[in-house]
Amino acid sequence: MTSRETPFSAPVGAAQYGGTRAVSRCNSLGVAPYSEEEGALFRPYLSKAYRETVRCVSAWMEEAGMTTRQDAAGNLVGRYEGARPDAPALLIGSHLDSVRNAGRYDGPLGVMLGIEVVAYLSAHKKRLPFAVEVIGFGDEEGSRFPVSMLTSRAVAGLLTAAPDTMKDAAGISLRDALGTEGFLLEDFSKAARNKKDVIAYFEAHIEQGPVLESENHAVGAVTAIAAQYRFLINIKGFAGHAGTMPMHLRQDALAAAAEAMVAIESIALQGAGDLVATVGRLDVAPGVPNVVPGDVAFTLDIRSGTESIRDKAAETIRTALAAIAEKRHVELSMELQQDLPATPCNSALTQALSDAIQKITGLSARKLVSGAGHDAMVMAALAPVCMLFIRCEKGISHNPAEAVTAEDVEIAFQVMVTFIESYAETYSAGQEKIA
């Protein structure tokens, strides 16, 4: 091996792979036709932009040496066979959808890195004792339909049937959206994987927070994913003429919502540990300048690494909002739409990942809890999970300013290869003991 060669160098004649190409491909997917909007990235599930993205990423998977398919939920799956064709698979995944006005790396970077790992294995003609499958989930963000991680839930076997009443903001049902892309609602749950066919799930993702950057770490190992509640809150007042309705007689739904949001912020600020609460969407009706708002709906997202802290905050908020509604003579409902428990990552896998980080970086792995939700927290119902975080500039995410460096992503790529090859050795030893 010359001074310029590394264990990750491409063999002569092989296409170059690694972190730089992963970043470049994410950038390519950040514009039309892979976005529904000109000048900004928005890629909702089952949209034209999603379809074009699947087509493009599928070609990259095949170029890397994988066979590809879309499952019954519309997820893109690429498979690189193991030493024997019927071997169970290590799943490497993240999501291809995005929020509106998104950054380019939240989700797709994990998929691109999975492809790069397979390209490395293929270029070096390496077959592992298990297959490697790279999954691009169709819906993690919940930016089209009101429940996030819809398609990873299907893969994890958590949906016995797809919700047949679910509609997007335009009134298009999940059934119709699936039908437009050639899928059947009745088949949605058939995306579920058999536990015996999956040995583990690995996800690489930008941190979406400032810890790694502040401590000068390129990557980190995730130990757990925070518990999450998502509520839809509806306030019903009485719409009236803005010029003739006296202030003291108003049942202003928006004013009640404003007071409720201030109360939510105050409760979260006083909460223990890593508690956060966010109102992310607000819908006002009738929504015209000269009418007192009669109806308001808004979302509430509550998260903490400790479920008891999250649960206590939710109950405190519920009590505070009920008092505001009574005082202002409006009706209030608080509907739970999503309940995701705290998800610990598998300790043995996390330790192996930490060892790989130390081997590549020369530093002890920074271990941290993810405040953001990820497909990994759902996939834990199917198989042991672990996650690798990648430093992002200023911790910015869900924003066009989201940024990573090719150098950091190259380190992530090398950590992934090192981890997977080490895991293959451990897995083989375990299989020999079983035999």
Distance CA 260, CA 266 (A): 10
- 95 marked as part of a ligand binding site: yes
Per-position DSSP letters for 218-255, written without gaps between them: SEEEEEEE-EEEEEEEEEE-B-EETTTS-GGG-B-HHH
What does the CA dihedral 212, 392, 358, 18 come to, rounded to 10 degrees?
180
- 27 marked as part of a ligand binding site: no
Residues 6+ apart with CB under 8 A from 372: 208, 209, 225, 226, 397
Please list the residues that pair with 332 across neighbouring strands: 235
What does the CA dihedral 113, 115, 120, 124 come to, rounded to 10 degrees?
160
- 248 marked as part of a ligand binding site: no
User: Do 312 and 276 form a contact (C-beta atoms < 8 A)?
Assistant: no
3-state secondary structure of 389: strand
3-state secondary structure of 127: coil
Tell me the Ramachandran region of residue 189: left when phi exceeds 0, alpha when psi lies from -120 to 50, beta otherwise: alpha
- 290 marked as part of a ligand binding site: yes
- 398 marked as part of a ligand binding site: yes
**Strand 385-390 with 198-206, pairing:** parallel
Backbone angles phi, psi at 105, to 5 degrees: -115, -20
Does the bond joining 286 to the residue before it have cis omega, within 30 degrees of 0? yes
Distance CA 148, CA 312 (A): 23
- 141 marked as part of a ligand binding site: yes
Binding-site residue numbers for Zn(2+) are 95, 106, 141, 205, 398
Binding-site residue numbers are 95, 106, 141, 205, 230, 290, 303, 398
Binding-site residue numbers for allantoate are 230, 290, 303
